[in-house]
Structure 1
Amino acid sequence: MVPLSLPHRLVLVRHGETDWNREGRLQGGQDIPLNALGREQAAEAAGRLKALEPGFAGLDYICSPMGRARETMDILRRDLDLAAGAYRVDDRLRELTFGTWEGFTWREIRKAEREQAHLRERDKWGFVPPGGESYRMLAERVRPVLAGLERETVIVSHGGVARAILALVGAVAPQKAAMVEIWQGKLLVVEGDRADWL
């Protein structure tokens, strides 16, 4: 994979926690709302962004269309005193889909589909779950979004999307990117081929 070179800083925010996150269930394309902790995490992200970038009002803001990401963006903008809804929504930033595995925990999947789960463990980047998509496919979906960024941007999206972006900019090798922990309530700041948590 040829790394993308981003001319501007990119700030990634993973949506806040949902009950399925807490239970370890694969959400993928399911629209699970934030829980109380998730709303607090969205507010924490706003505070971190305010501390990072005094000119936050002039940044571009783009969001996944999924409800948990949009609620996170809405809380973030409310706490920054920015106009509600004055951000772009891009369908290409929706979460990695896990197909028929959505709603199950990894423990349940390993028990019910041992061979498929083993194949995924051997190649998390390239493995396609039944009816779902791989991280490789997700990265190709997200690549044009990054290529089209024209200024410093805040993206509110999902763990899978953040992992794909880390691989796309060359901050982490693809096979390792699929295993990176993506925190809720923090900012992942990408500059060039570096990514740092704030």
Structure 2
Amino acid sequence: MPAPVVYYIRHGETAWNAIGRLQGTQDIALNELGHRQAIHAGDVLAGLLTRDGRDRHLLPFVASPLGRARATMELVRGALDLPPQDYAIDDRLREIAYGAWEGSTLAEAQARDPELYGRRLVDKWNVAAPGGESYAAVQARVSDWYRGLAGDTVAVAHGGTARALMVSLGFETPQSAADLFIEQGAVYVFNDGGQTKHV
């Protein structure tokens, strides 16, 4: 039986994304660009589903519980002419928690805790921010989510969970994924053949 295909969308831009603040578990709303990116991702997804012969009405849709992911999902579904609120929420898709660093820029985090920041630079996958979680922990919960999929799925979540999923599926290593840029407004397709990005 083939592995489920995941159509994965990172939430649109927020004001904190725009200025480089770590959001983590904070609920920061989409900005104007983020709204446009979400609608664009919905249009891209519509084309991919047509290409792949998938019925958008039958596919499960699931989002992170954080507001920026939910708002993106609702705009994506609107672009697909689907009822905006008709999707599932899964806490395992929430963004990596940055603990005490949430709301800070990386430069501010480095100034506040240079020793830990340095250790995290060397081993970003396993070293967590103070009171936060490691990418290894995110990988464990995202892997658990993926193993439970019954079939092809549309997911809207975060950059951190995308990196963790890429490692879980064997498409990236912790080293290659740690600083990988996950584009907003794009659709990433994960399947048996690997991963592709569509913009």
Check whether TM > 0.5.
Answer: yes
Instruction: Tell me by how many angstroms 1:144 deviates.
Output: 1.4
Match of 1:76 in 2: 76
Match of 2:31 in 1: 35
Whether 1:19 and 2:15 are equivalent positions in the alignment is: yes
| Contact in 2 for aligned 1:8/1:191 (Cα 8 Å) | yes
What are the Cα deviations for residues 17-51 of structure 1, in whole angstroms up to 9, with x where unaligned?
A: 00000010000010000000000000000010011
| Contact in 1 for aligned 2:135/2:160 (Cα 8 Å) | yes
Instruction: Tell me by how many angstroms 1:78 deviates.
Output: 0.9
- Distance, in Å, in 2 between the alignment partners of 1:195 and 1:174 is 16
Q: Summarize the Cα distance change of 1:109–1:155 in structure 2 as closer, same or farther, 3 Å threshold.
A: same
Match of 1:45 in 2: 41
User: Which amino acid in structure 2 is aligned with residue 104 of structure 1?
Assistant: S
Q: Which runs of 5+ in 1 are unaligned?
A: none
| Contact in 1 for aligned 2:73/2:84 (Cα 8 Å) | no
| Contact in 1 for aligned 2:69/2:156 (Cα 8 Å) | yes
Match of 1:189 in 2: 189
- Distance, in Å, in 1 between the alignment partners of 2:128 and 2:79 is 38
- Distance, in Å, in 1 between the alignment partners of 2:124 and 2:176 is 9
Match of 1:58 in 2: 58
Match of 1:115 in 2: 115
- Distance, in Å, in 2 between the alignment partners of 1:18 and 1:193 is 32
- Distance, in Å, in 2 between the alignment partners of 1:126 and 1:6 is 31
- Distance, in Å, in 1 between the alignment partners of 2:2 and 2:165 is 11
Identical positions, percent: 43
Match of 1:171 in 2: 171
User: Which amino acid in structure 2 is aligned with residue 7 of structure 1?
Assistant: A
**Residues matched between the structures, number:** 194
Match of 1:138 in 2: 138
Instruction: Tell me by how many angstroms 1:142 deviates.
Output: 1.4
With the length of structure 2 as denominator, give the TM-score of the two structures.
Answer: 0.94
Instruction: Tell me by how many angstroms 1:6 deviates.
Output: 6.6
| Contact in 2 for aligned 1:6/1:146 (Cα 8 Å) | no
Q: Summarize the Cα distance change of 1:178–1:81 in structure 2 as closer, same or farther, 3 Å threshold.
A: same
User: Which amino acid in structure 1 is aligned with residue 96 of structure 2?
Assistant: L
- Distance, in Å, in 2 between the alignment partners of 1:107 and 1:192 is 39
Match of 1:154 in 2: 154
Q: Which runs of 5+ in 2 are unaligned?
A: none
User: Which amino acid in structure 2 is aligned with residue 144 of structure 1?
Assistant: D
Instruction: Tell me by how many angstroms 1:84 deviates.
Output: 2.3
Superposition CA RMSD, Å: 1.3
- Distance, in Å, in 2 between the alignment partners of 1:127 and 1:115 is 12
